[in-house]
Amino acid sequence: MIHWDDLKAANEPLNAFTDFDTTAQSGKGPLEGVTIGVKANIAVAGLPWTSGIEAFRDRIAERDAESVKRLRDAGAVIIGSLNMEEAALGAKTDNPFYGQTHNPHRIGYTPGGSSGGSGAAVAAGLCDAALGTDTMGSVRIPAAYCGVYGLKPTRGAVSQDGLELVDAWLDSIGPLARSLELMESVTRVIANLAPAQVIDNIGLLENLGEVECEQPVLDGYEKAKKAMGAAEQFALPYPLTRIRFAGFIMSSLGLANSLKQVIADNPDGLSDHLKKLLTYGPKRSADDLAEDRKILKETGEAMSAAADKYGAILLPTAPQAAFSHADNAPANQADFTCLASIAGLPAISIPAGWTDDGLPVGVQIIGAAGNEAGLFELARKLDSQLDAYRDPETFLKHS
């Protein structure tokens, strides 16, 4: 039984959920009794389907997205909609219309984004698991900042039905949970997984040092490298910051196209900040866009070749731990996470350690396309070595 008053009270300091479905009931199936929150850009029948946008505040979903329907059919309890970055373009979850979401490990700090409500709700135990969406890291960055587990599936592995898209080529619906076991159970419901291919080697990115990382992130990465054993290095053909910027341009262009009518009909329904972000793609010259697409194509090919050759690629998830909402988001947040999105590869973020003042950091392992099952097997081995998951309750006192 869900004690709704207690749940709403626990949510209040975090602002992870924006809407609850107090009529939610469990069904029968492999996820019977598992409570799940859903990011607000994924349709949940009867709940506001806002995508974090003021213009969509009164839009009510008429039916469940395919991924949500599969969860209900498996017995899960879909308890509500989760806060997110406006239109899923950004990585702080400081929403100008629906409020800031706070990290359960440090009130006043970001949970990451754009699936910040998903990461915060799972970390705080407000729900057992959550659905988020990942365009260039928007599941994995909140997983790392909030100290939980997050998966970006292979491109196309989870239906985009009922998803308010940023970019159809980059977007993936993916789960977050406090254990790999539950996250895999959710994944097996929303995606049809192929049999596991054993992974017995890993690749390491030669140009990792291009990105400035906080020392606890590097410490967690080094510990993961040691735990994984044999490894070979490979290089990408372009600087990581340039690759990430090309991905941002595609996101800006795709979202500007999909929100064109909203901007025309209800310009006050989007923040000035979002409207500015939506100008970057459309104002790009034809030559620059051609270069962006070339960079993304060649990067995707290089990442896919490395994943096929080595079986898995190890990277930090984000270059930093969570930071104060008062601070600007670092430009390099998605320098590592964008790579799996651009290549369409599955990637799992795992807790990898802690800063001296108790904020989590993460590492990610990227697998070959379609090998989520093998990636989960590898993730369990790595997770048992890192042993870095920590419940956040003892840190809620920090502010």
For residue 172, whether the previous peptide bond is cis, meaning omega lies within 30 degrees of 0, is no
Q: Collapsing DSSP states into helix, strand and coil, what is residue 239? A: coil
Rounded to an integer, what distance in angstroms lies between the CA atom of residue 357 and that of residue 340? Answer: 30
| 372-386 and 180-190 helices, crossing angle to 10° | 170
Look at residue 234 and give its three-state secondary structure: strand
For the purposes of burial, counting CB atoms within 10 Å of the CB of 387, is it exposed (0-12), middle (13-18) or buried (19 or more)?
exposed
* Candidates 81, 114, 115, 185; catalytic one: 114
Does the active-site annotation cover 138?
yes
Is 251 annotated as catalytic? no
* Residue 37 φ/ψ, nearest 5 degrees: -100, 155
State both tokens at 227: 């735990």
Q: Which of 115, 138, 251, 341 is catalytic?
A: 138
Find where tokens 């990610």 sit: 364
Does the CA dihedral 104-105-107-113 come out positive or negative? negative
Residue 304 among the catalytic residues: no
d(CA 367, CA 348): 9
Instruction: In whole angstroms, give the CA distance from residue 332 to residue 13.
Output: 28
* Catalytic entry in 39, 69, 152, 223: 39
In this structure, which amino acid lies at residue 172?
Answer: S
CA–CA distance, 174 with 176 (Å, rounded to integer):
7
How far are the Cα atoms of 205, 216, 226, 303 from residue 231, in angstroms, in the given order? Answer: 10, 21, 10, 15
C-alpha to C-alpha distances, 246 to 127, 156, 206, 208, 346, nearest whole angstrom: 35, 21, 20, 18, 20
Whole-number Å distance between alpha carbons of 185 and 75? 12
- Whole-number Å distance between alpha carbons of 69 and 59: 19
Alpha carbons within 13 angstroms on the beta-carbon side of residue 325 total 20
Residues with catalytic function: 39, 114, 138
